[in-house]
């Protein structure tokens, strides 16, 4: 791996670290060390990082702001790429907004509201990066990314880049073409918004944000919603009715505030979280016949995903 290290460190406009604790980069504060941790500060640096890792057959993992993610306690071998500075641009052209994949999703909602652009009211309070939000079609309050995305600039595993239209992204509930059919990294996204009243938009966002603050445990280390909603049912309601609020294993606990969240109540391990997830899945299946599927990305797991 010496050649891999040397080649990574030669990439211009990129920060490279060895054995970086991933617990510092996930919102649930869990995760062992990344063998190689790279923050590319440009699209070209990102392309080079992917190319170098592939040339050495090193596994590649991409993270944004670390929400909706559970990393193994033993860490990750290979190259972990974090989208951040240099991939966090924001450009407004009329009602069209182009944003880097590393741009904070909640900041995008704030910026567009100040500009009097409507479409991201639902995103007030949603953590994560724009790239991650596009990747998983993030949403809330009856709306999601698919409603506003015009096209997304994607870097594919073979090194090619392409702008995919809304239709080509194949959006569905918390799902896109990038997850399985055409794995790729969202470099930037272009959103088509509508003109609105800045004050009204901001007030609507504040209402949603207050609701999330009062009903979801974002003041505690967590990874966001754990399970996809088996519509027309809702995971949180099913888990609460099963009496599982407050259930814990090790340092991982089903949130007493919202049952579809698992919080780190102190030195939780990834294995604790996975054990809680399996217990919840088994209990709900026994009681309702519904198999809950996880919404968060769990690296290295046997639980239903």
Active site residues: 174, 225, 295
Residue whose pair of structure tokens reads 């974002």 in the numeric block: 218
Element (DSSP H or E) covering residue 110: helix 105-114
User: How would you classify residue 191: left for phi > 0, otherwise alpha for psi between -120 and 50, otherwise beta?
Assistant: beta
Cβ burial 39-77 (10 Å sphere, 16+ → b, else e): bbbebebbbbbbebbeeeebebbbbbbbbbbbbbbebbe
- Residue-by-residue DSSP string for 70-109: E--TT-EEEEEEE--TTS--EEEETTEEEEETTSBHHHHH
Length of the chain: 305
Considering just the CA atoms, what is the radius of gyration of the chain in Å?
Answer: 19
Measured distance CA(60)–CA(267) in Å, rounded: 27
Closest CA to 186 of 174, 198, 178: 178
Cα–Cα dist 101/86, whole Å: 10
Closest CA to 62 of 300, 304, 303, 297: 297
Contact residues for 219 (Cβ-Cβ < 8 A; gap 6+): none
Report helix, strand or coil for 147: helix
The residues facing 186 across adjacent strands are: 154
Q: How many helices (H) and strands (E) does the chain have?
A: 7, 18
């Amino acid at each position: 791996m010496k050649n891999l290290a040397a080649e990574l460190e030669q990439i211009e406009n990129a920060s490279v670290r060895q054995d970086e604790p991933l617990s510092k980069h996930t919102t649930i504060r869990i995760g062992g060390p990344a063998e190689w941790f790279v923050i590319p500060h440009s699209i070209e640096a990102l392309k080079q990082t992917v190319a170098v890792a592939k040339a050495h057959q090193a596994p590649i993992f991409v993270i944004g702001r670390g929400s909706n993610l559970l990393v193994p306690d033993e860490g990750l071998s290979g190259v972990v790429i974090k989208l951040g500075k240099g991939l966090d641009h924001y450009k407004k052209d009329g009602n069209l907004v182009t944003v880097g994949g590393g741009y904070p999703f909640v900041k995008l909602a704030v910026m567009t509201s100040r500009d009097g652009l409507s479409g991201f009211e639902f995103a007030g309070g949603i953590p994560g990066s724009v790239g991650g939000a596009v990747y998983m079609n993030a949403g809330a309050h009856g709306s999601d990314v698919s409603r506003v995305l015009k096209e997304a600039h994607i870097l594919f595993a073979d090194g090619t880049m392409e702008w995919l239209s809304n239709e080509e992204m194949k959006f569905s509930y918390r799902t896109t073409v990038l997850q399985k059919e055409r794995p790729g990294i969202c470099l930037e996204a272009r959103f088509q918004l509508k003109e609105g009243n800045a004050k009204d938009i901001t007030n609507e966002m504040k209402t949603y944000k207050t609701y999330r603050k009062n009903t979801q445990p974002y003041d505690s280390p967590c990874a966001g919603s754990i399970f996809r909603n088996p519509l027309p049912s809702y995971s949180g309601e099913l888990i609460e009715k099963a009496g599982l609020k407050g259930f814990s294993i090790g340092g991982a606990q089903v949130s007493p505030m919202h049952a579809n969240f698992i919080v780190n109540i102190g030195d939780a391990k990834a294995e604790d979280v996975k054990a809680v997830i399996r217990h919840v899945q088994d209990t709900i299946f026994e009681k309702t016949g519904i198999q809950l599927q996880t919404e968060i990305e769990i690296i290295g797991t046997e639980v239903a995903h």
